[in-house]
Chain A
């Protein structure tokens, strides 16, 4: 039986999902904007607590991973299966580096007792509490997306390897790529707004 495939429709569906994600994070950025406006001094001082170096490394790693996902689409379309798998593998390694950095970053904060609801945080000034709550919520939600994206890309990598994603049929790879770029896109705004505004 011949299946009628609609790649254009599949991509449109992915984009509509991406729009809902943009509005989800958009709402959080809006909260950030209003609270920053209200407690600008305390936000400034609180941001000093974040490790801008780890933030920078993670930015570079995410940009690199976005480029390799895009390159993997080129490889698969050219019929270069081995390269396609390799590029996704590099992307997954980048995701791993990001997660390890996040582990050390959050681990340090947890070890000094800085986490939502902790005694230390409850005792802080209002602006600090808001900043760190937003920091944990936004980067936490972002990292959940990154983990979800890694799982999707792992499935895609296997499917390129077994050949069910190939030069003629690669819309799943494209949509997985779109999701990964979304993760990158969100970080592009999170990084300067949380780590660099000091």
Chain B
């Protein structure tokens, strides 16, 4: 493990991140007033994913941690997505 010195993030960075997350929340709520019918869930999921990405990268420090953490996270996400796809194959083609 080469990573010994901890990274100190500036307060301002967290301020901007919080602002970005609040703006995205506003967008999520505003979008529901528009009727997108079938796309509603998709849009909600995309915005939630963007928010999660920001939380993981800045608040949970994945940007500054060893790459190993990110690799593990992507693997877990991959397994989960695979389970979703397999479940829906089973469910829809039954």
Task: Give the distance to chain B from A166, nearest Cβ to Cβ, in Å.
Answer: 12
Which residues of B lie under 8 Å from residue A177 when comparing CB positions?
Answer: 59-60
Task: Give the distance to chain A from B38, nearest Cβ to Cβ, in Å.
Answer: 10
A15 touches B69 (CB 8 A): yes
- Report which of B15, B44, B59, B60 forms a contact with A197, defined as CB distance below 8 A: B44
Which residues of A lie under 8 Å from residue B61 when comparing CB positions?
Answer: 174
Contact with B along A128-167 (1 / 0, CB 8 A): 0000000000000000000000000000000000000000
Interface of A is mostly: helix
Q: How large is the interface on A (under 10, 10 to 19, 20 to 34, 35 or more residues)?
A: 35 or more
B25 touches A60 (CB 8 A): yes
- Report which of B28, B56, B59, B69 forms a contact with A67, defined as CB distance below 8 A: B59
Bound-complex Cα distance A178 to B56 (A): 9
Q: Tell me which residues from 1 to 30 in chain B have a Cβ below 8 Å from any Cβ of chain A.
A: 1, 3, 6, 8-11, 14-15, 17-18, 21-22, 25, 28-29
Residues A185 and B56 in contact in the complex (CB < 8 Å), given A30-B87, A71-B11: yes
Bound-complex Cα distance A37 to B58 (A): 34
Residues of chain B whose beta carbon lies under 8 Å from any beta carbon of chain A: 1, 3, 6, 8-11, 14-15, 17-18, 21-22, 25, 28-29, 32, 40-41, 44-45, 47-48, 51-52, 55-56, 58-61, 65-66, 68-69, 72-73, 76, 79-80, 83-84, 87-88, 91
Bound-complex Cα distance A52 to B59 (A): 26
Bound-complex Cα distance A87 to B33 (A): 35
Task: Give the distance to chain A from B11, nearest Cβ to Cβ, in Å.
Answer: 6
B17 touches A67 (CB 8 A): yes
Bound-complex Cα distance A194 to B29 (A): 12
**Contact count A vs B, C-beta below 8 Å:** 109
B60 touches A8 (CB 8 A): no
Instruction: Identify the closest chain A residue to B50 (Cβ).
Output: A188
Contact with B along A165-198 (1 / 0, CB 8 A): 0000010001001100100110011011100111
Residues of chain A whose beta carbon lies under 8 Å from any beta carbon of chain B: 7-8, 11-12, 15-16, 19, 22-23, 26, 30, 33-34, 36-37, 52, 56, 59-60, 63-64, 66-67, 69-71, 73-74, 77-78, 170, 174, 177-178, 181, 184-185, 188-189, 191-193, 196-198
Residues A22 and B9 in contact in the complex (CB < 8 Å), given A67-B15, A67-B18, A192-B47: no
- Report which of A8, A36, A67, A71 forms a contact with B1, defined as CB distance below 8 A: A8
